């Protein structure tokens, strides 16, 4: 079972059918929706502000979700994938978003729905990512629009795959 810690009277809350690996860490004021998964060595630290996570969100291996003390909470919508070793800090991510592996999303960023942050990108403080766009680079800039192929072939495919992967692990635990 994951390390789940109550801090300052706040205990993480989980929706239905969530999967947490044994060495994931979830602390404090965290509320997670249904069909979410938190993978190996990930940390969700709701110690300095709240973190709200929607439905069908996967937080992949080594990702860190945090906030800024009394200033910038973290809000994550539905159908969101946070890639391996990504860092998401004090920002808002709306629905149907892919945060690429190793990317960093800083304080007060707003990522509108149906968007992709490319692997390794750094989205600097206060950036507003347009709906339906791909942002890449350091600092991240718009490089193209998300077509139907990227929406279905990447954003939705990855989110759906992680629900399936979670089921594999849950079935193994039942054996």
Mean pLDDT across 87-100: 98
pTM for the whole thing? 0.96
pLDDT band with cut points at 50, 70 and 90 for residue 173: confident
Number of alpha carbons in the 13 Å side-chain half-sphere of residue 154: 21
Cα radius of gyration rounded to whole Å, the chain: 15
Distance from C-alpha of 107 to C-alpha of 16, rounded to nearest angstrom = 29
Model pLDDT, residue 95:
98
Q: What order do you get walking across the sheet with 141-145 strand by strand?
A: 19-20, 37-38, 58-59, 80-82, 97-99, 115-117, 133-136, 141-145
Q: What is the mean pLDDT of the chain?
A: 96
Average pLDDT of 66-72?
A: 97
145 phi/psi in degrees, rounded to 5: -95, 155
Q: Is the pLDDT of residue 92 over 90?
A: yes
Report angle CA 10, 15, 29 to the nearest 5 degrees: 20
- Output the furthest CA–CA distance in the chain (Å, rounded): 47
Burial degree of 67 (CB within 10 A; 0-12, 13-18, 19+): buried
Residue 161 pLDDT grade (very low, low, confident, very high; cuts 50, 70, 90): very high
Whole-number percent of the chain with pLDDT over 70: 100
Instruction: List the domains of the chain with CATH numbers.
Output: 3-174 (2.160.10.10)
Instruction: Report the C-alpha gap between 140 and 165 in whole angstroms.
Output: 30
pLDDT by residue (tens digit) across 30-52? 999 999 999 999 999 999 999 99
User: Is residue 114's pLDDT more than 80?
Assistant: yes
């Amino acid at each position: 079972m994951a390390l789940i810690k109550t801090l300052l009277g706040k205990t993480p809350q989980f929706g239905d059918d969530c999967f947490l690996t044994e060495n994931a860490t979830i602390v404090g004021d965290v509320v997670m929706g249904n069909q979410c998964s938190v993978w190996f060595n990930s940390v969700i630290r709701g110690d300095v502000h709240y973190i709200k996570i929607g439905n069908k969100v996967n937080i992949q291996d080594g990702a860190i979700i945090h906030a800024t003390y009394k200033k910038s909470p973290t809000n994550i919508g539905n159908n969101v994938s946070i890639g391996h070793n990504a860092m998401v800090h004090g920002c808002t991510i709306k629905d149907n978003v892919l945060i690429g592996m190793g990317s960093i999303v800083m304080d007060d960023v707003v990522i509108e729905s149906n968007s992709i942050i490319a692997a390794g990108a750094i989205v600097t403080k206060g950036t507003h990512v347009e709906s339906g766009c791909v942002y890449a680079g350091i600092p991240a800039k718009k490089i193209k629009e998300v077509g139907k192929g990227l929406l279905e072939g990447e954003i939705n495919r990855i989110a759906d795959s992680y629900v399936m992967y979670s089921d594999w692990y849950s079935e193994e635990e039942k054996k």
